Structures are given as C-alpha cells and as structure tokens.
C-alpha cells in the first residue's frame, strides 16, 4: 500500500516583524483528521520534522472556540494521545529517502510560517517527489512550505500552479494582521502562484496537476480524502490488469486527479 509522509513544523513560535514572537505549532485537526482518513484507507503514514525535533501542538487549536464543542476537543486530544510517540520522536526530515514514500502531506498551524517555508531539506524532498509527479498535498498555512522547493537558479517549482491556503481575509479575522512579517496569500501571489480562495473558513480544495491544497483547517479532511482517492487510483493503475480490475464493491475506479495540463 502507498506511504504518505507528514512533514510537520518543529517551531512553537512565529516571529513578528518587530522581533516579538507568538505561539505557533501544528493545528490539531489538520494532523488528526488526515491521519485517520489515510490510515483508514490502508495508507501508511510516517511523520518527520526538521532535525527530528518534537512536533509542537499549537495550543489554541484545541480551544473550543476553534473546535466547536467540548466533545470535539476531547476527540482531538484522544487522537493526539494516540499519536504521541510519532509526534514526540518523528523522523529527521533530511534523512527521508524520497524513494521510500509515495506522497507528501504538509499540515498547517502557523509553525510552517517560521520554519518549513525555508527548509532546504523539505525543498529537496518536494522536488524529488515532484519530478516523478508524486502527489503533494497541503492544508492551510502548510501551503507556505511549498516555497522551499527551488531549483539551482532559485525559480520556484510551483510558479504558475493554482493553489490555496490560509487567505488574507482569514488572517484579518483570526491572525496577527500587520504584525506578521508576511501573509501566506500575498507571498504565494508574489512568488507566482495562481492563488484561489473561497469564503473565509469554508472547506475549499484546489487541485492542479499533482498538487492538492486546502484553504484552512476545515479543508484538511477533504484534502486527505482526495489524496487517498488519488493514491488508490495510482496504485491500481500500476497493478497488473487482472488485479486492477477487481473491486469488492463491484464499482469502477475513477481518477480523482490528472497530472499535467
């Protein structure tokens, strides 16, 4: 079965323009929901961070104002407890062999705005996967990590791609506003992305070639569903015809995504 690597931030702070810092980390539901969806689909999930440092939870992501209910907060806490070993002792991102994985998923939280967007090891891994049209998926602020993917002359690998991530409108409503050194949407546009957004806080997923991106935390689960579907189709397409033709439910396989334009 396919293997997906979760590349997660190792930063528990986000540095503002004036040098002050605010709490950061990964966003709970952007790790928990995709992990559950992918593993339920039979996909192996590995977790890596820069230098193999523990992946820090962004505490506010468990606040009931974010989760919507005490029951949802409890559900996320229970799921995170089950992932504690992988989150506390992740793999070293620089040591991950691109040939050992089939896909990459980068969740958000504001930590990637501090570290992943400029992480050269992540950039090399993204480029290695992209060279084989492997699926690369992101959610929310995780999309900023795509900026790490450069070639030797520094042009951005994903210039011209349609993509989404946490919007300026959402930052205005729930972010540090002008205190931040940059916003995701503006930076992506300036780098050459064809940035797409929907309404604030609504689930929005954009697919372009081998890139699947979600706008905000509410989009993470759908990103994972589309990634699981795409990987399942890829696995079947690569299988012998006799095996590929078999479906226990009697249905047919449909490509969720087409690489290339």
pLDDT tens-digit readout, 193-248: 999 999 899 999 999 999 999 999 999 999 999 999 999 876 554 544 433 333 23
* Inside any domain, residue 254: no
- pLDDT score recorded for residue 150: 94
With cut-offs at 50, 70 and 90, classify the pLDDT of residue 260.
very low
- pLDDT score recorded for residue 261: 33
DSSP string, 76-126: HHHHHHHTHHHHHSPEEGGG--GGG-SEEEE--SSGGGTTGGG-HHHHHHH
Range of the domain at 78: 3-244
Percentage of the residues of the chain whose pLDDT score is greater than 90:
85
HSE-up (13 A, CA, CB side) for residue 246: 5
- Is residue 2's pLDDT more than 80? yes
- pLDDT score recorded for residue 252: 26
CA distances from 141 to 29, 31, 224, 239 (A): 13, 13, 15, 35
**Across residues 161-175, what is the average pLDDT?**
95
* Inside any domain, residue 256: no
**CATH code: domain of residue 62:** 3.40.50.880
Mean pLDDT in the chain?
Answer: 90
Q: Which pair of structure tokens corresponds to residue 92?
A: 């070293």
* Inside any domain, residue 112: yes
* Inside any domain, residue 251: no
Kindly tell me the sign of the dihedral angle through the C-alpha atoms of 108, 114, 115, 119: positive
- pLDDT score recorded for residue 232: 87
pLDDT tens-digit readout, 173-194: 989 978 999 999 999 999 999 9
* Inside any domain, residue 250: no
* Inside any domain, residue 16: yes
How many domains does the chain contain in total? Answer: 1
CB 36 within 8 A of CB 227: no
* Inside any domain, residue 220: yes
| Higher per-residue pLDDT: 253 or 88 | 88
């Amino acid at each position: 079965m396919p293997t997906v690597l979760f590349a997660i931030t190792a930063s528990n702070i986000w540095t503002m323009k004036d040098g002050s810092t605010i709490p950061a980390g990964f966003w709970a539901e952007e790790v928990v929901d995709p992990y559950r969806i992918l593993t339920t689909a039979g996909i192996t999930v590995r977790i890596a961070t820069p230098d193999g440092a523990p992946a820090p939870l962004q505490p506010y992501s468990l606040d009931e104002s974010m989760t919507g209910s005490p029951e949802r907060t409890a559900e996320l806490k229970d799921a995170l407890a089950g992932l504690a070993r992988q989150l506390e002792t992740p793999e070293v991102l620089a040591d991950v062999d691109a040939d050992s994985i089939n896909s990459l998923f980068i969740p958000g939280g504001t930590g990637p705005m501090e570290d992943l967007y400029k992480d050269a090891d992540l950039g090399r891994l993204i480029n290695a996967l992209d060279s084989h049209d492997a699926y690369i998926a992101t959610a929310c602020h995780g999309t900023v990590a795509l900026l790490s993917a450069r070639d030797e002359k520094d042009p951005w690998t994903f210039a011209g791609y349609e993509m989404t991530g946490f919007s300026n409108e959402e930052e205005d409503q729930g972010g540090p506003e002008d205190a931040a050194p940059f916003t995701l949407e503006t930076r992506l546009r300036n780098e050459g992305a064809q940035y797409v957004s929907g309404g604030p806080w609504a689930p929005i997923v954009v697919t372009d070639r081998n890139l699947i991106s979600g706008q905000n935390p509410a989009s993470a689960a759908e990103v994972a569903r589309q990634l699981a579907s795409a990987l399942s189709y890829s696995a079947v397409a690569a299988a012998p015809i006799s095996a590929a033709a078999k479906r226990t439910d009697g249905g047919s396989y449909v490509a969720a995504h087409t690489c290339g334009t």
